[in-house]
Amino acid sequence: MSSLYVSNVSKSYGATEILRDINIDVEDGDFLVLVGPSGCGKSTLLSLIAGLDTLSGGEIRIGKDKVNDLHPSERDIAMVFQSYALYPNMTVGQNISFGLEMRKVPKPARDKAVQDAARLLQIEHLLDRRPGQLSGGQRQRVAMGRALVRDPKIFLFDEPLSNLDAKLRVDMRTEIKKLHQRLGATIVYVTHDQIEAMTLATRIAVMKGGILQQLGTPAEIYNTPANTFVATFMGSPSMNLLPARIVRRGGELRLLLGEGAAAIDLPLPPQPAAIDSHVDREVIAGLRPEAIGVEHGRPGAVLRSVPVTITVLEPTGPDTLAALELAGMEVAARLGPDLAHQCGERCELMVDLSKLVLFDAQTQQRIA
């Protein structure tokens, strides 16, 4: 396994800039997920790492070696595609061993590698079938088996679960995570699915419009998003973004949430000093749905009661999604399943202000 360094990488097709100045370091054993909306450049970046396309600028290193000019076959990476790209006329076993055969690996070693991979992926009973006789999930396993036997420096996955139905996606997601934990492999994984990103990654790179928005652990991305795009892209329902104003009263910083007569005045928990330059300025207050309607404060919680009107309640089983009117604005909340509130009710709910994230209203960047 190996580390991967993407330094100042850019890519243009003619005059069209697809990737701008991307910097990502992937440590040995990291599971990096590239996530972002369709067209943001994720697959292009993966292709550059794989060597399927050439860089317009910057450098890619695998371990100590600069690989910009190396052919894909010389980079010692294995790729699992969305389409699986299996050979229809070969058996599962032949599909898995084909790459090794091309590399002139002797037959006994090939057979052992195929058996080991098949055992790991629990497809030993399928080795004599052809891809056409397999389910989507089984084909996905074969595609992974083909990558596994290579024992490459890095695995690249391009939306490997997007052709599977919802239930199978979740099962295979767990399989991939287990595989990573077992192998300690370095993985770069492309998806547009924020849940896949959160659940699989040790580190997430959020992209938009060919620009890296934030690189961090899932917790960093979720709790301290770099800007309002990352805040709303990650998490479902999205983080509520509410117009607000910071004011200083009696030496204390307070947040005026909302506008006009409906605004609510809340004490601000201790914030970084950078907040001082935003006093008496418009900001955007970010509150996750689960930070509203908190019943049991965890250690460190800063709970304040706020008046709301409940407009919609959607029980999902483990929790209830609610639309609320708060400070004259509609917000989404994730409430406990046993909450004894009715639709249309006016009530007080607890908000955990320690979870509040503030953004500059102009730049949309988090105020750090």
Rounded to a whole number of angstroms, the minimum distance from the CB of residue 43 to ligand ADP is: 3
Q: Based on CB atoms, which residue is closest to ligand ADP, 49 or 291?
A: 49
Which of 48, 8, 63 shows the shortest CA–CA distance to 156?
A: 48
Q: Which helix (H) or strand (E) holds 359?
A: strand 357-360
Rounded to a whole number of angstroms, the minimum distance from the CB of residue 39 to ligand ADP is: 4
Q: Based on CB atoms, which residue is closest to ligand ADP, 18 or 113?
A: 18
* Identity of residue 166: A
Q: Based on CB atoms, which residue is closest to ligand ADP, 83 or 277?
A: 83
104 backbone dihedrals φ, ψ, rounded to 5°: 65, 30
Q: Which helix (H) or strand (E) holds 190?
A: strand 187-191
Rounded to a whole number of angstroms, the minimum distance from the CB of residue 89 to ligand ADP is: 29
By the 8 A CB rule, do 294 and 352 touch?
Answer: yes
Q: Based on CB atoms, which residue is closest to ligand ADP, 53 or 76?
A: 53
- What is the separation, in whole angstroms, between the first and last Cα of the chain? 35
Rounded to a whole number of angstroms, the minimum distance from the CB of residue 36 to ligand ADP is: 6
Q: Based on CB atoms, which residue is closest to ligand ADP, 60 or 291?
A: 60
As to burial, measured by CB atoms within 10 angstroms (0-12 exposed, 13-18 middle, 19+ buried), residue 107 is exposed
Q: Based on CB atoms, which residue is closest to ligand ADP, 18 or 241?
A: 18
Rounded to a whole number of angstroms, the minimum distance from the CB of residue 11 to ligand ADP is: 8
191 backbone dihedrals φ, ψ, rounded to 5°: -155, 160
Q: Which helix (H) or strand (E) holds 60?
A: strand 57-62
By the 8 A CB rule, do 45 and 54 touch?
Answer: no
By the 8 A CB rule, do 225 and 366 touch?
Answer: yes
- By CB under 6 A, name the binding residues for ligand ADP: 13, 16, 18, 36, 38-44
Rounded to a whole number of angstroms, the minimum distance from the CB of residue 207 to ligand ADP is: 7
Task: Give the other-Cβ count within 10 Å of 54's Cβ.
Answer: 10
Q: Based on CB atoms, which residue is closest to ligand ADP, 19 or 242?
A: 19
Contacts 24+ apart (CB under 8 A), 133-142: 134/92, 136/163, 136/164, 136/165, 136/168, 137/164, 137/168, 137/171, 137/172, 139/84, 139/86, 140/84, 140/164, 140/172, 141/175, 142/84, 142/86, 142/92, 142/95, 142/96
Rounded to a whole number of angstroms, the minimum distance from the CB of residue 115 to ligand ADP is: 35
Q: Based on CB atoms, which residue is closest to ligand ADP, 42 or 180?
A: 42
Q: Based on CB atoms, which residue is closest to ligand ADP, 38 or 342?
A: 38
Q: Based on CB atoms, which residue is closest to ligand ADP, 46 or 92?
A: 46
By the 8 A CB rule, do 244 and 262 touch?
Answer: no
Rounded to a whole number of angstroms, the minimum distance from the CB of residue 9 to ligand ADP is: 13
Task: Classify each residue of 243-265 as buried b or exposed e, where b means 16 or more C-beta atoms within 10 Å of its C-beta.
Answer: bbbbeeeeeebbbbbbeeeebbe
Rounded to a whole number of angstroms, the minimum distance from the CB of residue 46 to ligand ADP is: 8
Rounded to a whole number of angstroms, the minimum distance from the CB of residue 99 to ligand ADP is: 24
Please, where are the H alpha helices in 70-130? 92-102, 107-121
Q: Tell me which DSSP letter residue 171 carries.
A: H
